[in-house]
Structure 1
Amino acid sequence: MTRVVVAGTSFGRIYLEAVVGAPDFTLAGVLARGSDHSRACAVRYDVPLFGSAEEVPDDVEIACVVVRSGALGGPGTGLAQAFLRRGVHVLQEHPVHADEIAANLRVARAGDAAYAVNTLYPNLRPVRRFLAAVGVLRSRQRLDFIDAACNSQVAYPLLDVLGRMTGGLRPWTFGDVHVARRQPFVSLHAEVGGVPVTVRVQNQVHPGDPDNHSHLFHRISVGCEGGVLTLADTHGPVLWNPRLHSPRDETGRLVMAGPGTERLDVPSTVVVGDEPPGTYHQVFADLWPDAVARSLRNLRQDATEPGRRMAEGQWALGVSRMWSDLTARIGLPELVEPPEPEPIPLADLLGSKGPA
């Protein structure tokens, strides 16, 4: 049983649920500044509340640092290094600047500890299913294009996903940014791992409510000779659209049925996988904690296989450098203050009818 401490109780709540819900980990404590919420978390999970890394006992093997890094003006990286110096393996929540990652890797080597940046979303079950299907496409045909959209808050993990899709981050290039009046998205052409990519980013943030008001998290399509595979949303589903291609008869007209048109006798859209998208309650309670638990297991494997640490560290550096390149091009987010969105009842959409 691997003993884990979680630093941070805001998004750290997802990590706490991941640890207590996994049979191979045990929660050894919460590290926080001592707010009422943090104290309540420690009481809820019946674990000690620590005020500093030095207070954490030596039998803790992994520290989850879910505190803002220096890239966001927080103390997370200093906290990560305090654990790494003691030989405690660290999983740090993204985003983390490349210079901080490089410094953390040096401290980790000196402390004989494993260090990883958790981008979370590549380990979500729907995204893993999407990446596995992309791997099948890539093994058989060239990837002709990728079209990707996201909110600026989750652009960092999008780049991680794109690199996994193409089989590598390099070479990457980002072209000029296109901004149109009254458009919530900025767009640019790019290349990742040698594959042409179109990137659209909702580069907007509500200054008083930055975790809300995203039009979407991630939406990604990848095309090849055989068709288009789409991750409709970060939380699924994965869709496959086989390419429409019909033979022609001796007059040049398309043949739509009969012998030679077997490739047309397939659904125009197929849902890949048998797990339907869940509610957002289920996303918070199951899907995200499951992804964190998978990241923890990957870190634990890095700890037992030092040869993996260098490769993981180089990948993390590459993702962070790509993110710095992208954010430098798209600039600071536009500040917006829209009202709370009004939900649309699903029954209204299901009951809608087209023109008679």
Structure 2
Amino acid sequence: MMHAFLSNNRDELTKRCRGKVAQRAGRSATEQQLKDGVPLFLDQLIRTLEIEQTSTPLDSRRISGPAGGGTALYEVSVSAAQHGKDLLNLGLSVDQVVHDYGDLCQAITDLAVERDAPFQVDEFRTLNRCLDNAISDAVTEFSYQRDALNTDANAVESNKRIGFFAHELRNHLSTASMAFVAVKAGNLSFSGSTGSILERSLQALDRLITSSIEDVRTFGHTSLILDSFSLADFIAEIYAAASLSIGKNECIFRVPKVDPDLAINGTRDLLMAAVANLLQNAFKFSQPRTEVFLTAYAAGDRIIIDVKDHCGGLGPGVAESMFLPFSQAGENRTGVGLGLTIAKQSVNANNGTLTVEDIPSIGCIFKISLPRHAVPT
């Protein structure tokens, strides 16, 4: 009888399965899984075989389920589902789920051949039914849990992208609104410098919306358009727009002269958004009537853009987390905490780096480093 063979060789079969798991590349297992997983299924299989030798063989379905599984709950389905979930938590693939039960089948077959153990056809059918149901339930639960995790991850990513889009819309709209107010209050001509800021802000809004529509049309597989442009002109444009949004703390905004022979290569709108967000952060957290510096210069084969504020310095551990989405460390919690995240991603997308240096009791310096290029002719 197969149930007697399995009972008498339970420890040996468990040992062989553990050995197969240990030898298989990429398969890790916790001590609890190795201790409980195979023995539990073996016990369920033994009880199924024993019941099928009684006058009520169909009672075994409560343990191992009918052929082809089913919607009714049975013991093998519960333990197999848990096994599938455990394997997903270990970061394994669905084929590892199948292999785990295949190991047991192979171990039973090998040992039966070695011991010359005769089994009846119906017993093999029961073994196959139990394995089939266990694999099916384990794979089903594995797939469900994996899909749920993917859905959650996609929802988080989608929410982040919407947040980025709304954040940049608000920045450009705010600049456009302040430029319009300045033109109206001063009875200025729209052909002047303030009118140019308004025009550029509206153009940036148009590009942002057009880019978002293109992302939807192509499912996000868009490529960046890189251009070479003057660093001095780039900084001058940022200065003009940022001067309108210094805020209520009346910071003194200083921009030292930039070498006109320097140029950078990248996506202008993304880099503009990066520096604008750093300045917005500096104006927001700097102490009243202190200085905010925007400097741009060459350092070997790199272009460095620094934004120095007077926020009073960073607290312990703040520098490590401040670029994370929705991270807000200061007392001022206006906004959603995406500005620095957008800045870092925009710089990274242009083959650059963004770091922060803490100056205790004074403030901090955000440093953008980009490849240096010749001024376009």
TM, length-normalised to structure 2 = 0.22
**Counting helix residues as a fraction of each chain, which structure ranks higher?**
2
* Larger relative contact order (CA 8 Å, sep ≥ 6): 1
**Counting strand residues as a fraction of each chain, which structure ranks higher?**
1
